[in-house]
Amino acid sequence: MSIDIVPLGTASAIPTRERNPSALALVRKGRILLFDCGEGTQLRLLEAGLKPTRIDAIFITHLHGDHFFGLMGLLSTLSLMDRTEPLTIVAPVGLYSVLCDVPGLNVEGLGFDVGFRELPDTLQHEVVFENPGYTVEARPIEHRTFSAGYRFEEHRRPGHLDPERARNLGVTAHADFRALKRGEEVRVNGRVVLPEEVVGPERPGQSFAYVTDTRPCENGRVLARGVDLLYHDATFTETFHARAVETAHSTASEAADVARRAGAKRLLLGHFSARYTDASPLLEEAQSVFQNTEVAEELKRYLL
């Protein structure tokens, strides 16, 4: 199944002409999960060709403005678009009260239900959103204020069906092929054909981790363990390592080390300091540690 990761904003605290505040969309079956919602996110969604009405849940990492100041405008727009579907917002404790205090934004009167799932600073690990196809879990990561990282993971998928083997056992009807794929036995010519005779072992679902803003930490590695794609804070190069420690961010080589230790398949660097008009030093540094690294390009679609 096709899943696209679309970075919408890759700047750190200060946006630039080329980079917007933090936001990223995961697109699956035409539905959207939004990670962070910095200022201007709704415009970036439009520029990416993504419909805001298709957002099912929004996951905020922490309550620094460059990660959630776009949420007020997005909620207002969804109300004006007559949205009726419920929306889930996962965020650290305090966001709900902030939104309730925004003049002109009536959180309780938007016209659609908003389910707030607020994460306490005592969080250890929690599945914060799920549907029949996948789960999203949260773990605390290490920043100047309480911050959460997130991991999206599809449920395990059925194994591959061997159609030739099934036909040799007498299976010809499309409905029977589908039933076997679902794990159901079928009866053909007086004989029962079992799924395990023609279907291979279950396959892991696709996975993605969103780990920013943070110092390299154990929970970041746990969230990234074996993922198909990791998006990680890479605010600085090692030249500014002391600044990374001071501000509780990561360097590009530290992000790459997290990916390497976690066994991630691919790494996307993001959350860049405004000092880097050219991100090639960040990329070069990271690739010296973890070769399968890319610099996140805003509005580009990355296929899991």
Exactly one of 4, 36, 56, 66 is catalytic; name it.
66
Q: 60-83 burial string, b = 16+ CB within 10 Å, else e?
A: bbbbbebbbebbbbbbbebbeeeb
Is 66 an annotated catalytic residue?
A: yes
Amino acid sitting at position 140: P
Nearest to residue 38, comparing CAs of 55, 19, 52, 57?
A: 19
* Orientation of helix 252-262 relative to helix 280-287, angle to 10°: 40
- How far is 220 from 203, CA to CA, in rounded Å? 24
Question: Do residues 145 and 64 lie in contact, with contact meaning Cβ atoms separated by under 8 Å?
Answer: yes
> Residue 160 carries which DSSP code?
P
Question: Do residues 36 and 68 lie in contact, with contact meaning Cβ atoms separated by under 8 Å?
Answer: yes
- How far is 17 from 117, CA to CA, in rounded Å? 34
Catalytic residues, by residue number, are 66
